[in-house]
Structure 1
Amino acid sequence: MEKTSKAYEYFAKLYGRESAEAYQQYIQQTPIDYLRVNTNKITVDALQKLLKEKYRIQTELVANFPKALKVISDEDDLIGKTVEQILGFYYIQGLSSMLPPIALNPNESELVMDLCGAPGSKTTQMAEMMNNRGTLIANEVDINRIKSLVFNLDRLNIINTGILNFKGEILSKVYNNYFDKVLVDAPCSGLGIIQKKEEVSKWWSIDHANRLHDLQTKLLVAAIKMAKVGGEIVYSTCTLSVEENELVIDTILKNYPVEIVDVELPVKTYRAFIKYDGIKLNSQIEKAIRILPWEIESDGFFLVKLKKISETEPMEKIYTPGSDIKIVKSNHKEFLPYKNYLVDHFGIEENVFDDFKFIFKGRDIFIINKDWFDENPSLFNRIGTKFGSLDKKQRITLHSNGAQVLGKSVKKFIYEIKDKKELELYLTGMRIKNDELVTGQYVVKYNEIVLGTAIKTEEGLKSRFPRTKRTQKFEVM
């Protein structure tokens, strides 16, 4: 952030030259990596020990963040290349980015919407907070960014989430007075993330912030209309401009039935502005929160929690056509033959499947937790995670994601990776030579961790590790 840039001048106007200088010094430092530990797969202590002993990555606990680690030493630059990262043991995520889900605090008994979901950091965090149960819906307008959202949901084995591909501002035409909680982590000008994206300071301008203001307001209006009376909405951005934050909230408070709720967060925070450019804003806005990047050693953020206090007028409903997608329980006649095969072949107890529902979409079968529900399955880009696929003879092939969900329930046809060479072959989609195994499907493990599935043929054990997870940029230690 050069002293001659519009971003620097704007920041100095808000906070003074001394603070602008502090920010300028901060963004010249190397960004700190933080990890959100997926405690569905590993404990915080166990991950710390594993990273230190296996990869020489030193981490430390983060005060008041029970599932976060701060990377303090990574000499070989491996934190984004470990096998454990590929398998979703942790998510590399800025500390500030973890705060909106903490403020919203969703649980498995609630209907929850993430209105701007990609790339999935906050979606996966909320899914974990909901214990991978209940109903979470993540929307993303950009079809290309949905790929990253799907990738991260699959990597962390999230099975309580359906994905929509809509303009967020029109989703209130589908859902009206419906959700218990809605997160709006809105697209923004990025004034709080210059340390990570230095180019922001070169193109940032008030005009750009003002243009985003209209979209941000529309997204928040849609979120309010979608929330139930008494429901809660968290609005957040990784920018520090008043135009995209306080002025958006001021507009909302003038026109919609919401009030601002106090939020306690585990970091040092600052109250939002209630005066700007000679304009006096709604005094409630003082309850909104600003986070200054050099104070938290992470991104700058704005966050406010709203409560809906009365109903909003419903929008004209979008026509929702009938669907050929079938969502069935494990005892449904259509799924029963596949369950019986999996029980017999892999030694899985029948009652394990009772925790899930299964989605038939063409030849693919997806898996979602048993409590997930939505009246309009045809609107979804995807529901749950891939469980298996059917061949021309209607036989099921278990997908690696499905195997990871079933985990320790699999008792037979297990192949344990013998060494690092075999691990590398498997993770890159190659064959492992083994003449002792009988032909058929296998679940592949390494150090008791389910990696995925494989098919044994005359040519060897062919990896079925998902193509989206295969990468040459990993280290086998």
Structure 2
Amino acid sequence: MELPKAFEEKMKTLLGEEFDAYTACYEEPRYYGLRVNTSKISVEEFQKICPFSITPVPWIENGFYYDGEKESPARHPYYYAGLYYLQEPSAMTPANRLDITPGERVLDVCAAPGGKATELGAKLQGEGVLIANDISNSRAKGLLKNLELFGIGNMLVLSEEPGKLMDYFPEYFDKILIDAPCSGEGMFRKDKKMMKAWEEHGPEFFSKLQRSILTQAAAMLKPGGMLLYSTCTFDPLENEGSVSRLLEQYPEFELQEIRPYEGFREGRPEYASIRQEEFRKTVRIFPHHMKGEGHYLALLKKGNGEGSETQTSRIHPAKGRSASYEKLPEDLRNFLQLVHRPFDAGRFDIRKDRVYYMPEGLPDLTGIRFLRSGLLIGELKKGRFEPSQALAMNLKKEEYENILDFPLSDERVIKYLKGETILTDDLTGPKEKGWYLVCVDGYPLGFGKLSQGTLKNKYLPGWRWMSS
């Protein structure tokens, strides 16, 4: 692979005698990874049922390599069940190294397509709130699908300038992840097109964006909160340089140690403009030291600076919420009797015939662009309730009364994913008409409506299995 000359010269300066080892890695194949969705299945259980040949990613507890030249995990029912996410191994590191406790308020600032956000959401285990934002509306749509496929319900998906979010979420978040837009130098081996983009928009262009996003995020982090900044580039201006600028503007921030791995290399203090020795706590990932592409990570904690009282004045219940089950439409109440989960009636929100279940403690969202607020429970169509695909993915088999559970080998699994009508006459046991949760090996795929042995398929059209 022919690298841009200016990039080669920079890397020679950065790597010194390691430069030849670095360039040699371009002759090696790229690595393919999948990350287990631990909110749906344990790593141990996944290993038992995994149909692919996988080996562990040693620094990611729920990460595995697979052979991307021979196997296609995206063409498997377990993928449609949301049991894993396909992600380059090094890219798993930022969300892995940001510790999340269920119940926290978490922000992913530049979240599309969802590789980090899905892991953050899984770590929350349905408690607290994940706010996933991407300025690109089209990319945010893909982000929403991936979060719903993963079964994340306690979320907001936004499409806003990070600067606008400051007015809505002042000192609101316990944890913030910024996987910043960058020049992409660490991805040259994975995607050759990144080199052309690098020549059009280099590190100086991106460093200005990064510094703006960092300062905006800093204002949204609670005192004592943690911020993880990452890029997939090697350039010091975008890495140590951008973090240095944050420390200059917000001296209450302190760099923290990142849980180590033998392949990690420490940050480069000589490229920092302030508190240089602290930058040894940051991490550089080089592809000639690890089986993955290039990355940079910095973990920072916000201290208790002056005037850092948490702002809560905007927080209040959303308009239109039902205060009790009695105020919900009858057909919705009847459906909820089939769901074995304790709901807080005050968190239901009905807007334009759509029923949402909202996270707690949200700010007033008036005037903000969002693609999803909370878990979409379903829609009221002429008084009749129809459950959503998002709810199906959010449920576990034991949480719903009416189940159709097919083994992986049953041809009806693929038929269902293609949107075809399913016949169920051969199944044992009583099968009353109504809404059924369709599963593969116990893992939900979607809903269908059963009548007289025939299941009317309600799998979301935009998600359907396409014939190859």
TM norm structure 2: 0.87
8 Å CA contact 1:133–1:160 kept in 2: the answer is yes
Q: CA deviation at 1:400?
A: 3.2
* 2:56 aligned partner: 61
Q: Which residue of 1 aligns with 2:152?
A: 158
Q: Which amino acid aligns with 1:431?
A: T
Q: Give the 3 Å change call, closer, same or farther, for CA 303–206 of structure 1 in structure 2.
A: farther
CA distance in 1: counterparts of 2:377 and 2:401, whole angstroms: 18
Q: Tell me the SS of whatever aligns to 2:284.
A: strand
CA contact (8 A) 2:286 2:295 kept: yes
Distance 1:75 1:187 in 2: 28
* Structure 2 residue ranges without an equivalent (≥5): none
1:395 aligns with 2:389: no
The equivalent position to 2:419 in structure 1, one of 423, 429, 450, is 429
Secondary structure, counterpart of 1:352 in structure 2: coil
Q: Distance in 2 between matches of 1:74 and 1:142?
A: 28
Q: Which amino acid aligns with 1:260?
A: L
Shift of 1:281: 4.8
Counterpart among 361, 367, 377 of residue 373 in structure 1: 361
Corresponding residue to 2:327 among 312, 327, 334: 334
Shift of the 94–267 alpha-carbon distance from structure 1 to 2, 3 Å rule, reads farther
CA contact (8 A) 1:107 1:129 kept: yes
Q: Quickly say closer, same or farther: Cα 1:455–1:62, change in 2 above 3 A.
A: same
Shift in Å, 1:226: 0.9
Which of 396, 403, 409 is equivalent to 1:407? 396
Structure 1 residues 229 and 440, CA gap change in structure 2 (3 angstroms)? closer
Tell me, what secondary structure is at the counterpart of 1:70? strand
Residues 127 and 133, structure 1, Cα contact 8 Å, conserved in 2: no
- Structure 1 residues 203-352: aligned runs within 5 Å: 203-205=197-199, 208-257=202-251, 258-276=253-271, 281-283=274-276, 284-311=278-305, 326-328=320-322, 331-335=324-328, 337-338=330-331, 340-343=333-336, 346=338, 348-349=339-340, 352=342
- For the residue of structure 1 that corresponds to 2:56, the secondary structure is strand
- Alpha-carbon contact 1:169-1:221 (below 8 Å) kept: no
Q: CA deviation at 1:64?
A: 4.4
Change (3 A) 1:413 1:2: same
- What is the TM-score when the length of structure 1 is the normalising length? 0.86
Q: Secondary structure at the match of 1:295?
A: coil
- Is contact 1:93-1:121 (8 Å) kept? yes
State the match for 1:45 in structure 2.
44
Query: Which deviations, in whole Å up to 9, do the C-alpha atoms of 1:291-323 show, x marking residues without a partner?
Result: 112212112111111222244779xx9xx9999
- Once residues 186 and 323 of structure 1 are traced to their aligned partners in structure 2, the CA distance between those partners, rounded to angstroms, is 32
Native 8 Å contact 2:33 2:63 kept in 1: yes
Hey, what's the Cα distance between the residues in 1 that align with 2:264 and 2:290?
9
State the distance in 1 between where 2:186 and 2:221 align.
Answer: 28
Give the AA of the match of 1:387.
I
Structure 2 residue aligned with 1:176, among 170, 173, 185? 170
1:19-65: CA deviation from partner (whole Å, max 9, x where unpaired): 333233223322212221112222323322323xxx4x211233343
1:449 maps to 443
Q: Does the aligned pair in 2 maintain the 1:359–1:383 contact within 8 Å? A: no
State yes or no: 1:6 paired with 2:13: no
1:200/1:356 CA distance change after superposition, 3 Å: farther
Distance of aligned partners of 1:343 and 1:280 in 2 relative to their CA distance in 1, 3 Å threshold: closer
Is 2:29 the counterpart of 1:30? yes
Distance 1:149 1:123, change over 3 A: same
Letter of the 1:268 partner, please give it: G
Q: Is the 8 A contact 1:228 1:311 kept in 2?
A: no
The corresponding residue for 1:125 is 119
Q: 1:79 aligns with which of 73, 88, 101?
A: 73
Identity, in percent, stands at 27
Q: Is contact 2:247-2:274 (8 Å) kept? A: no
